[in-house]
Structure 1
Amino acid sequence: IFNLLINGTHGNPVPGARVLDLFAGTGALGLEALSRGAAQATFVDDGGTALALLARNIGLMRAAAACEVVRRDARMLGPNRGAPFDLVFLDPPYGTALGELALALCLSGGWLAAGAMVVWEESSPQLPPAGFAALDQRQYGSTAVTLLRAPG
């Protein structure tokens, strides 16, 4: 995924980015972005086991100062109370239609900066929701990665 982001024709969105890692799980995507120059990462997940692993991984990376962990169901994001995010990793449970819902909530809740890049992992290629532009789409084994540009 990071080779696609960094070497793609759409510009490298990672350096200095505010990153939102939705359905964060272990936080691998957000933490990798930090290791490649992102300024800050916010991780959203509601699973107790995932959050424990995420906290452990943040500690191992010594990245606590650049991280915020939000224990919340991504289907109930609500309004963003901080600055919007430039880069969003979206890795919902496959086949649940939660990705499109989460993107709509991000947009309506002010979570996305104008023109933010979204990296959406699913089991099959996804069509861009209304207002989003498709940038690229790749299949890696059983995972489809769709790159989108948010409105603005």
Structure 2
Amino acid sequence: MRKKKPQTQSNGHIRIISGKFKGRKLPVKDVEGLRPTTDRVKETLFNWLMADIRDASVLDCFAGSGSLGFECLSRFAQDATFVELDKGAAAQIKANVVTLGLENATVFNTSALEYLKHNEKKQTFDVIFLDPPFRKSLLEPCCELLEKNQWLGENTLIYVEFERESQFEFPAKWQLLKEKQAGQVTCMLFSRS
């Protein structure tokens, strides 16, 4: 009689779609609630951002797989900060940073809300991704903290992804540039004017 193999968590991967790491597949932890942005949505998003990524300082809140931040670094962003609450997912992002030999990536294993509460250095970002877990009421408080704690520079671009049925009040200074529906997901790109 053969011994059963111990069950392990099945892990997936993300694919970098353009830039210096084009075609690279990176492992992703199978974490509850993790929804890596699909390649189709990612292609649309990076068509929107094409002229704005090179030399940008990027913040990937709710980083999950790190897909959006890694795509930016592949496209020559100046640096990327990944914020991810799940310990396993954050460890996998760190491992992928090492795999790609990146020295311009920082990973914080904390909640996005906790991270955004403190900005003693008055750091600002050029591009910010907000893709929180669905139905957890995290998007609006993050938007408020971005404004309140001065994370946004002049013309910062903010990408948000949320469940289609939700309605949000975005800050008055945010100007909607692009919007797309993809299945059950609404995607919006704002500029802070």
Same fold (TM over 0.5): yes
Q: Which has the higher contact order (CA 8 A, sep 6+)?
A: 1
* Distance of aligned partners of 1:107 and 1:55 in 2 relative to their CA distance in 1, 3 Å threshold: same
Q: Identify the match of residue 21 of structure 1 among 60, 76, 94.
A: 60
Letter in 1 for 2:136: T
Report the structure, 1 or 2, having the larger helix content.
1
Cα deviation 1:28-83 (Å, max 9, x = unaligned): 110110101111001112211111111122122221x1111122211222232253
Of residues 105, 108, 111 in structure 2, which corresponds to 1:67? Answer: 105
Which SS does the other structure have where 2:117 is aligned? coil
SS at match of 2:134: coil
Once the two structures are overlaid, the 10-residue window that deviates more, 101-110 or 73-82, is 73-82
Unaligned runs of 5+ in 1: none
2:134 is equivalent to residue 94 of structure 1? yes
Identical-pair percentage? 32
Distance apart, 1:126 and its partner CA = 5.3
- The alignment of Structure 1 onto Structure 2 pairs a total of residues equal to 149
Paired letter, 1:92? P
1:48 aligns with 2:87: yes
Corresponding residue for residue 14 of structure 2: none
CA distance in 2, matches of 1:126, 1:28: 25
Deviation, 1:130, is 2.5
Instruction: Give TM-score, length-normalised by structure 2.
Output: 0.70
Residue 88 of structure 2: SS of its match in structure 1? helix
C-alpha separation between the residues in 2 aligned to 1:62 and 1:40?
13
Q: Distance in 2 between matches of 1:27 and 1:91?
A: 11
The answer to whether the Cα contact below 8 Å between 2:90 and 2:108 also exists between their aligned partners in 1 is no
Gaps of 5+ in 2: 1-40
Q: Which amino acid aligns with 1:55?
A: K
1:149 aligns with 2:188: no
Tell me, in whole angstroms, the C-alpha distance in 1 between the residues paired with 2:158 and 2:134: 17
